[in-house]
Structure 1
Amino acid sequence: MSLNVERVNPLLGARVSGIDLASVNDATLAQIEAALVAHKVLFFEDQHWSAAQQKAFAERLGELHVHPVFEADPAVRELVVFAYDDKNKGANDTWHADVTFAERPLKLGILYAEEIPEVGGDTLWIDTEAAYRALSAPLQDVFDKLSAIHDFCNARSPDTALDIEGLERLRRVMPRPTQHPVIRTHPVSGNKSIYVNRAFTTHIAGVSRLESEHLLALLLQHLQIPEFQMRWRWKKNTVAIWDNRSTQHLAVADYFPARRRVRRAAVLEEARPV
């Protein structure tokens, strides 16, 4: 059986139809993983997952991450629940790759849409491999040699700005800042991609503060070029699986006072990015 894959954007993103993710066999799962490397984000509509089924599917793809801060599903601690409305607006509206502040960040994100606004609440993704390819050769050569520091407590989003006491509490439960290459190599495809993001990357290591500010600003602005992006309009009971090694994403916070509730499982990378 071959997957029915329909591209939804020239660079990244594809809709997969005719599959019940709750009952896929190993051969089909391997095809999904291969399609994910090729298309970077896959969408499966009309899925009906319990929290336990979502966890069971995600575990077949690797070791699951348990987030030390975000709200967990009451029944399955490995699932993060993002439930936002006008009284709790959340903090996912900043460009990021998930959990880059950890030594072993995420390989995949697997999100299930439980409750979706009538309009708004879309998610955008960036193809960070395409963004790297679009850099000039001299800049590629410069960035290939650099590393950057990532820190959950960076708190770049205004909605997550913390007072000193709140920041100290967070420091006690979060991992220490970690260092990753500015340009990473995908362990399956061998493609290079830009691996800094607005939410968690604090600075470029080994250069002056002025150099760091300008180099990081250049990359973050470059990543936001519209040609590298796709936008997804959610429907209830849709599953999105994205390759966190070659993408960044952002949830658009334009739907309040409506409510948006989604569950995310997160699969850890096998090793540190290189």
Structure 2
Amino acid sequence: MARTIEVQPISGALGAEIVGVDLAGELSNEAFDAVHRAFLDHHVIFFRDQNNLTPEKHKAFGRRFGTLNVHPYVKGMDGHPEILEIIKEPEEKTNFGGGWHTDMSFLEEPALGSILHAIEVPPCGGDTLWANQHMAYDALSDGLKQTLGGLTAIHSAKGEYGPKGQSAHNRQSMDTTMAPDAPEFEHPVVRTHPETGRKGLYVNPAFTMHFKGWTRRESRPLLNYLFEHCRQEQFTCRFRWEAGSVAFWDNRSTWHFALNDYQGHRRHMRRVTVNGDRPF
């Protein structure tokens, strides 16, 4: 089966479409290894025409990579707590994931990756962008790399899922819990990928609060610089969804951004998140 798998890059920075894989079927070890290699090489991989991917099969594919996360602040799908039903109805103004971020960096052991399956998409709009954080790190000066290598950042969900956060408002379709007292966890600003050994930046606008030992005011100028740097166009790719499409991205090496440009149309996605380990 692996001999029939094609890996087609979609940009110079990251992202590849995988042809010849049915995620609803039984992946041989050889085929799984080919998919896993593409995942590590390209940081986000895409599959088209996966209309037969049931919730059970969706979870089964995710479990090939690790245990599955149950989101602490968003209620999962009925009967499948590991699956988030990400729905935006035509009348809703705010979308889920509508800003640059890395999934679940607010946990002590953040997510390895996320697997998103498109059930219903608008006729146009609703694309997702990803940014390669290895490339963002590599593009920094040696002096700034040295400075950042000694820093730790504080991550928490209390901003995004607090009373004023984007993830806690204006989405009647998702059962979200506000978390003004969410815990804080420390992660290195420069993370080493546990499988490839590559270094990458590990801060994001949604969940990184400040640097350890720095005030928020002191942290803001440098964080803002990094946030602007990390989302530069040359580090990104963009994917146009179709019903049945699947994206699987590495949260250890990417940011992503769900565009909110389809007002008046419904968008329905299902997400499984694979648990990861503590950054180092």
State the TM-score, normalizing by the size of structure 2: 0.90
- In 1: Cα distance, 2:191 partner to 2:178 partner: 31
Report the CA distance shift for 1:150/1:263 in structure 2 as closer, same or farther (over 3 A): same
Partner of 2:173: none
Provide the aligned length of Structure 1 versus Structure 2: 267
- In 2: Cα distance, 1:112 partner to 1:35 partner: 18
- Pairing partner for 1:65 from 58, 64, 69: 69
- In 1: Cα distance, 2:79 partner to 2:206 partner: 29
Match of 1:197, SS state, is: coil
Please identify runs of 4+ aligned residues in structure 1 that moved more than 6 A: none
1:260 is the counterpart of 2:263: no
Partner of 1:39: 42
1:216 is the counterpart of 2:223: yes
Partner of 2:166: 159
- In 1: Cα distance, 2:261 partner to 2:251 partner: 24
Q: Deviations over 1:60-97 (max 9, x none)?
A: 21011000222311231111110012434333111111
Contact 2:159 2:180 in 1 (8 A): no
Partner of 1:55: 59
Partner of 2:172: none
Match of 1:73, SS state, is: coil
Partner of 1:179: 186
Match of 2:227, SS state, is: helix
Partner of 1:19: 21
Partner of 1:189: 196
Structure 2 gap segments, 5+ residues each: 170-175
Report the CA distance shift for 1:91/1:238 in structure 2 as closer, same or farther (over 3 A): closer
State the TM-score, normalizing by the size of structure 1: 0.92
* Structure number having the greater helix percentage: 1
- Pairing partner for 1:128 from 127, 133, 139: 133
Q: Deviations over 1:182-233 (max 9, x none)?
A: 1100011111111000111111112344431111111111112111111111
Q: Deviations over 1:135-179 (max 9, x none)?
A: 1110000001101111111128863467xxxx995246x5x1111
Contact 1:148 1:204 in 2 (8 A): yes
Report the CA distance shift for 1:151/1:107 in structure 2 as closer, same or farther (over 3 A): same
1:82 is the counterpart of 2:70: no
